[in-house]
Amino acid sequence: MDILVAYDVSTETAAGRRRLRHVANVCLAFGQRVQKSVFECSLSPEQFERLEHRLLKIIKAEEDSLRIYRMLEPRERHLRAYGRQSDIDFHAPLIG
């Protein structure tokens, strides 16, 4: 399944800045950054559960915001992207 992860982590404290880095690192392990706090991921249901679980362990619901959207498939048919971007081929190896 293709998903979009968007987050806003409060960075007013050192702990918040650490949470921001941890959220970004978890997202990088599962997908690719398309904007500063937005990631696109192509995941199996099991990977999705792991990603969601890890993110929910990091964020503070009182201070932060996390949104996970399931994108309609096929993604290419429903996505409109403008401006600076790089296309992501989730079926190609991520390591070059």
In this prediction the pTM is: 0.81
DSSP characters over 17-80: HHHHHHHHHHHHHHSEEEETTEEEEE--HHHHHHHHHHHHHH--TTT-EEEEEEPPSSHHHH--
Q: Which amino acid is at 95?
A: I
Q: What CATH architecture does domain 2-71 belong to?
A: 2-Layer Sandwich (3.30)
pLDDT value of residue 70: 93
pLDDT value of residue 94: 52
The whole-chain average pLDDT of the chain stands at: 88
Domain positions in the chain are 2-71
pLDDT tens digits, one per residue of 9-56:
999 999 999 999 999 999 999 999 999 999 999 999 999 999 999 999
pLDDT value of residue 79: 77
